[in-house]
Amino acid sequence: MTAATLQNAPHARQNWFTSRIGKDATQLWLGVFLIIATGLAPDLLDSSYWSHAFQLVNIFIIASICQNLLLVDAGQTSFGNGAIFGVAGYAAAIATTMHGVSYPWAVVLGLIASLGASVLFALPALRVQHFYLGFVTLSAAVVLPELAMAFNDFTNGIIGISLNFETLHQRSIFGVISPMSLMIALITSVILIVHALMRRSMLGRRMRVAAESPEAAQALGISPGVMRSLAFIIAGLGTGVAGVIYPMIVGFVGPTSFNLDISILFFFAVIVGGRGTLLGPILGVWILYLLPNILLAEFVNYRLIAYGLVALLVMLLLPDGIVGGYLNWRHKKQHGGKRLDLNVAAVLGTQSSALSKAADASAVPAIEVRQGRKTFGKVVAVDNVDLTVRHGEIHGLVGANGSGKTSLLNVFSGFSRLNAGSLHVNGVDITSLAPHQIARLGIARTFQTPRIFGSMTLWENVQIGRDARSGNSKAPIPESAVEKLRETLGEGSPDWVPHGQRRLLEVMRVALQESDIMLLDEPAAGLSPDERKQFGALLQQLRDQYGKTFVLVEHDLDLVWGIADRITVLDAGRVVASGTPDEVAGDPAVRHMFIESSHA
């Protein structure tokens, strides 16, 4: 899309809700329709068997939606969500039968219990990830039925607890629909809509960034630990909702109600249906739970085999699940080979900035390191470095591999901490701050491998920067330019843009973060000569129009000498030379270095 077509882009305000959901809209409405139709149709047809079956199916869908959120949006592998489900069910049932609490209050207690359980799940997740977390949560699912047996004073042990909700099952609404079916279908729909909205909310985006790249998250001021805990709490509460409804449907809770199988069902439903898709959990639960019901209604034991076999086959044949596989196929068919040509410079426009460089050369430096020293074991990566980066300049940081450039960049962004010396940004001492705290002070960074997330749209990839904006930038990118960028990128997929433009997007992300200082780690790697020029021009534009300060770690000396205002040369962790490009190029020590090593 060129700048010209941009001008003509339709500006009609879409309805808030639809634009919120974006490309997920079709899936969402289809999902809601399926949930309500299957939830109510059996009542209308007066089939109490299927009414019961679909009430159960719908609450399993609720739990699977939560599993989906946890697994994909937050990247947490939990095999034990059935335990949270069970805790909620047990707590509500115990409260109402043993203590005579009315069921609405019992529901509240059940939800509180599920909240407690999810906090217990979140704790180990702060320390360990991946299969370790899988094992911990799996253990929890194994332990819950045993605990139910152990505390038989409360749970009635193997006999379980019986409850009576007969009236809710009467088809009392218009004489055809039971309050139970209606309530469950509505709650399930609401939870699906909430998940869809959450995915497109700031919180949802932040969660996904934290899941896909904890470093990128920290650089955007997000604490991955907080995101993980929040995900467990939200998913736990949702699973709790399903859990407290369970006794109302079945009229019974016992240790066998919540054995490991149910955790496996929730997990595999997401895998089979399609990780990260809205329809996935619905289809997954239908296939895993319902199919054996229809085909092999008498052999309830076959259900487990079906779980295993279907999950295995899907993993081998359609690794993204059924909905995911379909979406991939359609995406390829519709957009295969599609290319989006970004013209970021045009989007930014040629606004004549009030920020002249001279006016902005304030006395307080942007970054100041004094006697900075960083060691890794015996290796001294940064050796008594004094370095000053002024406001509104592009500061090149060059040197051979292992000369300490990236170590220094990591110190600036808080990913590693100085062993000695001090680090000030805008005169504030940040020597011992965490990366996400530094990010919030208006220091953004990019990484050697670009952090562009394939699961997000192009705009969302930039928007995550905007989500993290500090709000105290001296010269924020104007709203009109942001709006233009949003329209250009839209629902486009990162697959559509080549690597070179992804680099530009990353810079736009940090620009929208409204950070006045940007740290770029080898941004030109992998760019073609043309793309390098484009990239250099973008940095200069951001410097000249918006007064941005850049620290540029880069091997491409032509690029650095072409755009930098000042350059610092590092060797073995020490500053060898620092000054304007001409000064540095003329420095005998530097000439010596580059003649020796630049081409060898």
Partner 1 sequence: MIEEFGIILVRGIGLGAIYTLVALSFNVVHSSSGILNFAQGNMFVLGGFIAFAMSSQVEFGPWMWLAVIPLAGISIALLLTFQGWITLLPLKNSTQQNSWIITTMAASTIIGAVMLLLKGPWAQTATSPFTPFNVLGTRTPAPYILAMIACVFWYVALRLFLTKTLTGLAISALSQDLEAARAAGLRVRRLQLIAFAISGMVIGTAGYIVAPIISIAADTGIKYMLNGFIASVVGGMGSDIGAMIGGPLVGVLSMFAIYQFGGHFQNVVSLAVLVLVLMFKPEGLFGRTSARRV
Partner 2 sequence: MLEVQNIHSGYGSVPVLRDVSVSVNPGEILLIVGENGAGKSTLLRTIGGFIRPEKGTVKLNGVDVTGHAPESLVRSGLRLVLDGHRVFPEISVYDNLRLGAAARPSNDKAGFNAAVDNIMTVFPILKEKLHNYARDLSGGQQQMLALGQAFVAQPKVLLCDEPSTGLAQALLPPILNFLKTWAASGTAIIIVEQHIDIALPVADRAVVIERGQVKISCAGKDLKAELQKASEARAASGLPT
Tokens of 418: 């100085």
Give the one entry of partner 1, partner 2, none that residue 309 binds, where binding means its C-beta sits below a cut-off of 5 to 8 angstroms depending on kind.
partner 1
Query: Cβ(524)–Cβ(532) under 8 Å?
Result: yes
Tokens of 556: 């491409």
- Contact residue for partner 1 among 39, 89, 214, 573 (CB under 8 A): 214
Query: Cβ(273)–Cβ(323) under 8 Å?
Result: yes
* Residue 415: alpha-carbon gap to chain centroid: 20
CA dist 596 and 394 (Å) reads: 26
Binding mask 526-565 for partner 2 (x = CB under 8 A): x-xx-------------------------xxxx--x----
Smallest gap from residue 264 Cβ to partner 1 (A): 6
Smallest gap from residue 584 Cβ to partner 2 (A): 7
Among 502, 523, 501, 519, which residue's Cα sits nearest to residue 510? 519
Q: Which stretch binds partner 1 (CB under 8 A): 96-104, 256-264, 338-346, 530-538?
A: 256-264
Smallest gap from residue 75 Cβ to partner 2 (A): 19
CA dist 304 and 16 (Å) reads: 43
- Contact residue for partner 1 among 304, 345, 346, 380 (CB under 8 A): 304
- Contact residue for partner 1 among 132, 376, 427, 529 (CB under 8 A): 132
- Give CA torsion, residues 346, 473, 16, 454, to 10 deg: 70
Query: Rule CB under 8 A: is residue 594 a binding residue for partner 2?
Result: yes
Tokens of 517: 């200082």
Query: Cβ(61)–Cβ(35) under 8 Å?
Result: yes
Query: Rule CB under 8 A: is residue 525 a binding residue for partner 2?
Result: yes
Query: Rule CB under 8 A: is residue 292 a binding residue for partner 1?
Result: no
Look-up of token digits 């592998």? 77
Nearer to partner 2, 104 or 337 (CB): 337
Q: Which stretch binds partner 2 (CB under 8 A): 17-25, 342-350, 456-464, 497-505?
A: 497-505
Query: Rule CB under 8 A: is residue 147 a binding residue for partner 1?
Result: yes
Query: Rule CB under 8 A: is residue 328 a binding residue for partner 1?
Result: no
Smallest gap from residue 315 Cβ to partner 1 (A): 5
Query: Rule CB under 8 A: is residue 271 a binding residue for partner 1?
Result: yes
Query: Rule CB under 8 A: is residue 160 a binding residue for partner 1?
Result: no
Report the amino acid identity of residue 219.
Answer: A
Among 383, 391, 442, which residue's Cα sits nearest to residue 412? 442
Query: Rule CB under 8 A: is residue 595 a binding residue for partner 2?
Result: yes
SS (H, E, C) 19-80: HHHHHHHHHHHHHHHHHHHHHHHHHHCCCHHHHHHHHHHHHHHHHHHHHHHHHHHCCCCCCC
Q: Which stretch binds partner 2 (CB under 8 A): 42-50, 217-225, 270-278, 496-504?
A: 496-504
CA dist 563 and 560 (Å) reads: 6
CA dist 217 and 245 (Å) reads: 36
CA dist 389 and 557 (Å) reads: 19
Task: Tell me if residue 406 falls in helix, strand or coil.
Answer: helix
Query: Rule CB under 8 A: is residue 305 a binding residue for partner 1?
Result: yes
**Interacting residues with partner 2 between 377 and 406 (CB under 8 A):** 400-401
Smallest gap from residue 270 Cβ to partner 1 (A): 10
Query: Rule CB under 8 A: is residue 590 a binding residue for partner 2?
Result: yes
CA dist 170 and 179 (Å) reads: 7
Q: What is the contact surface with partner 1 in residues (CB under 8 A)?
A: 77, 79, 123-124, 126-132, 134-136, 138-140, 142-143, 146-147, 149-150, 214, 224-225, 259-260, 264, 267-268, 271, 301-302, 304-305, 307-309, 311-312, 315-316, 319
